[in-house]
Structure 1
Amino acid sequence: MRLHPTSGLPRFLQSLRSCLLQSYRFIPRSLFSHSQIYYNNVVPHLSAVSSPTTTPTRMSSTQAIIASVYSASVSTPQNLSSSPEGVTNKSHHLKDGKGFTNPWPSWRDLEPFKVLKAVARNRMGPDSPGLLGPSTAPPTVPVVAPQFLPTRSTFSTEFRATWLGHACFYVEFPGGFRVLFDPVFSERCSPVQFFGPKRYTKIPCDIVDIPVVDAVVISHNHYDHLDHNTIIKLKKHHPDAWYFVPLGNKAWFTSSGVEKCIELDWWEEQDIVLTPSGSQTSAGASPSTNPNEPPLEVQTEPAEEGLKANSIAARIGCLPCQHTSARGLTDRGATLWASWSIESGGRKVYFGGDTGYRAVPPDLPKSVDDYGEEFKDLPICPAFKQIGELRGPFDVGLIPIGAYQPRWVMSPMHANPYDAVRIFVDTKCKKALGIHWGTFVLTDEPILEPPRLLKEALGKEGIEKEGVFDVLNIGETREY
């Protein structure tokens, strides 16, 4: 059994907490609830910086005021996109109506005791990362200050994706629509901020540094994807943003004071249209190139037929993935999990959120290739090919590549880089960027292994190792 040089009781407890948080995902129903836990509404300053970073330039008050504000109309599309046969059967809904499941043979449920036993055994094995988990000593993932577009225009042709750490991406669509995926800006992904998995890379900016947010899209309610502190701060600095969440999650947002929330089931869609408003504001506005345009007013009436001049339109679709949900010990599967599609300005993004692809056999040594010939018949999640055939192709996929060891434990719910490349192909993404790595230690793979294995997986599939499915530095933007 190996220990890191920095080993000690505090770090061991921290590591154990991370394992326990992962095991929540295998335990049914709720011990903790939003109303039972006290949260600090102020995101703490980060002290653990293990990679180079620069300080983001704050938006000036002039930039914040130079804004076009829109009235937002959210409605069900009249012309729905294609959906699979049998979608109305709702096979992912539990029969008692009290939760959700993964309805495919590619999913495997595990008992909590077996999960903890497997993690402990992995930590003490010959190929172990050490009792305390993988080292986060530098070098890790570089952090740079993001360079957002300070203003937006309906005539813009720029299509940009910026990684803000873990599963959080900020996407700027041509024509001005702005989306924030799975934002977590707190120091820890935990029910409390004094204990739990802590960032080993710094946040590249604060929420106030993001110029405009039209939509916040949430994949599921695990703490590394849904953070109360972050939502409260988003509500304060971006009060006009709409939130799109899987079924069962709206009540949590309502209890957090967020009213502009739409919950959707798999394969459901909503259209959102932002139309220039006629009123004025001096703060909290959505940046634009025209300082005389009016501020944002939000309305929930259905959108009028046709688009007015300078309007911004987007279609947001909730799609399947293979995962689970929980915010406590006893609410596993009580709310839905999802991947998402966003289309605006003639471009389309697929957001994988957090997902597995197939369940590999128990206790395989790390040296065994679970994509070898003997495992070719393992069931794969069929949802991704359906997504590609019915809703693709996508210009860019944001696809998870990390949190996959011990492999047999995590494989049903977390894709490794080889799975990620298959998801990329199945969903018919033209380009992709890796998410769900480089921020929190949640599992046992070395922290810089995911991008290395991604290149191997791309090469194995005959795909160029650079320029197709890439990883970014935290805070870096890729333009398409």
Structure 2
Amino acid sequence: MRLPLRAAILTLTLLAAGCSHVNPYYDAARPHHRPEGFANNYPSNPAYFRPPQGFFAGWAARIRNWTDDGSSRLPLAPIPTVKPDLAFIHANTTEPALTWIGHASFLFQTGTGVNILLDPVFDERASPLAFAGPKRHQPPGLALTELPRIDAVLISHSHYDHLSVDSLRALYKQSGGPPTFYVPLGIDLWLERNVTGGKRDNIVRLDWWDKASFRGLDLHLLPVHHWSARTPWDRNATLWGAWAVTRPGFNFFFSGDLGYSKDIGDIAARFDGFDLAAIGIGAYQPVWYRNSHVSPDEAVRIHRELRVKHSVGMHWGTFPMGQERIDQGPRDLAAARQAQGVPEDAFFVLKHGETWRPRAAGKALDARLDAKP
């Protein structure tokens, strides 16, 4: 069967972008390092088979997702949004708060006056092309022009739905000076080439288990089971990871993209639980996607194993990345919570533009408990 014209153009564009890679940070003493890039700590889950043709079939499936009309993945009902509470967001310097921009993009306010953006993508498409690729179903819940000054940006990996050149260029030019970019190994070089004009002053690169200190916070890059690429020819040339942002009295976990693996147990062994987490619950169909993403059931398992007090489901409702409907994740999350005995207010989803505040959530829970006979 002949590929549609857009799919053919996309394929040729990606092929033309390819080149060979040498890992400039290769360290033979680190098992996840390779001369040409990086590798996961643990083997892929054999229960989640890969396409029988392997690598090229995987890319063909992604290209089909990028070029079909997406009608089979439309939500069953309109996905609700709220107007962002800009007055609170711009005044807040003392309270931890998490605002969902969409997909994996969040504004995390640490409660110490530091504003952090996670995987900021404000583009219309999560793609290298303007005419093809996953198209945004919901506008950003918080526009670039509505952001407070951003102090730090954390990037989990290089995929287009998590790493946007236009968004990062805009942030680099923000009023008051650029934020500090914290990135996995190799993405620092990408930033130099594509965002900062060769300058390194505002870039901090980390390997797995590395920790950086920033204005009273500890920023940890953590190992998770995933991969990286921006073309078919640079697979795993840059590192990927989850993030933990910790300070006395509050720990936050951001999963980025991950498949369920023993890495979760390794993280749990090093941290004494988390007060808040953002964990992916979308793009888990077809089943072989679950070597790269987690299902809602696995997300709830991660929530429990990491001993998280409150988790927010992300990676759904914005870009149609998997083959399930883009609002299927929250429905499956509800079933997974019930099956695993997790309360509704312990793992939930936000509306685009909504801010979650532990203090406000605690007051709402107290009010519900007081109202019971």
**Same fold? TM cut 0.5:** yes
Cα contact 2:311–2:348 (8 A) shared by 1: yes
1:268 and 2:210 correspond: yes
After superposition, where does 1:343-358 map in structure 2 within 5 Å?
343-344=246-247, 346-357=249-260
The corresponding residue for 2:348 is 470
Distance (whole Å) between structure 1 residues aligned to residue 74 and residue 253 of structure 2: 30
Offset at 1:392? 3.2
Cα contact 1:324–1:337 (8 A) shared by 2: yes
1:151 and 2:54 correspond: no
Cα contact 1:175–1:344 (8 A) shared by 2: no
Offset at 1:184? 0.1
SS of 2:173's equivalent? helix
The amino acid across from 1:332 in the alignment is: R
The corresponding residue for 1:332 is 235
Offset at 1:151? 2.8
Distance (whole Å) between structure 2 residues aligned to residue 176 and residue 451 of structure 1: 31
1:437 and 2:289 correspond: no
Distance (whole Å) between structure 2 residues aligned to residue 337 and residue 244 of structure 1: 12
The amino acid across from 1:445 in the alignment is: E
Offset at 1:88? 9.6
Offset at 1:132? 4.7
1:455 and 2:358 correspond: no
- TM-score, normalization by structure 2: 0.82
Cα contact 2:279–2:314 (8 A) shared by 1: yes
Structure 2's unaligned 5+ residue stretches are: 21-26, 359-373
The amino acid across from 1:90 in the alignment is: R
Distance (whole Å) between structure 1 residues aligned to residue 267 and residue 28 of structure 2: 16
Offset at 1:112? 2.5
Distance (whole Å) between structure 2 residues aligned to residue 219 and residue 326 of structure 1: 12
1:166 and 2:103 correspond: yes
| CA spacing shift, 1:184–1:132, aligned 2, 3 Å | closer
Offset at 1:152? 4.5
1:192 and 2:71 correspond: no
The amino acid across from 2:283 in the alignment is: A
Offset at 1:146? 1.5
Offset at 1:143? 2.1
The corresponding residue for 1:92 is 32
Offset at 1:20? 7.3
| CA spacing shift, 1:256–1:119, aligned 2, 3 Å | closer
SS of 1:250's equivalent? helix
Distance (whole Å) between structure 1 residues aligned to residue 245 and residue 129 of structure 2: 32
Give the share of equivalent positions with the same residue, in percent: 35
Offset at 1:32? 7.6
The corresponding residue for 2:192 is 254
Distance (whole Å) between structure 2 residues aligned to residue 447 and residue 134 of structure 1: 10
The amino acid across from 2:275 in the alignment is: D
Distance (whole Å) between structure 1 residues aligned to residue 147 and residue 259 of structure 2: 31
SS of 2:33's equivalent? coil
- TM-score, normalization by structure 1: 0.64
Match of 2:170 among 221, 230, 233: 233
**Greater fraction of residues in helix:** 2
SS of 2:245's equivalent? strand
After superposition, where does 1:6-85 map in structure 2 within 5 Å?
31=18
| CA spacing shift, 1:92–1:107, aligned 2, 3 Å | farther
| CA spacing shift, 1:475–1:131, aligned 2, 3 Å | closer
Distance (whole Å) between structure 2 residues aligned to residue 456 and residue 228 of structure 1: 37
Structure 1's unaligned 5+ residue stretches are: 1-11, 34-86, 123-129, 274-312, 358-380
Moved more, 261-270 or 384-393: 384-393
Cα contact 1:133–1:444 (8 A) shared by 2: no
Offset at 1:344? 3.5
Offset at 1:406? 0.7
Cα contact 2:70–2:320 (8 A) shared by 1: no
Higher-RCO chain (CA-CA 8 Å, sequence separation at least 6): 1
| CA spacing shift, 1:143–1:176, aligned 2, 3 Å | same
1:179 and 2:82 correspond: no
Offset at 1:256? 2.5
Offset at 1:192? 2.3
Distance (whole Å) between structure 2 residues aligned to residue 121 and residue 442 of structure 1: 11
The amino acid across from 1:336 in the alignment is: L
1:139 and 2:60 correspond: no
Distance (whole Å) between structure 2 residues aligned to residue 20 and residue 450 of structure 1: 29
Cα contact 2:100–2:141 (8 A) shared by 1: no
After superposition, where does 1:257-296 map in structure 2 within 5 Å?
257-258=195-196, 259=200, 260-273=202-215
Cα contact 1:30–1:331 (8 A) shared by 2: no
| CA spacing shift, 1:315–1:208, aligned 2, 3 Å | same
SS of 1:237's equivalent? coil
Cα RMSD for the two superposed structures: 3.0
Cα contact 2:258–2:294 (8 A) shared by 1: yes
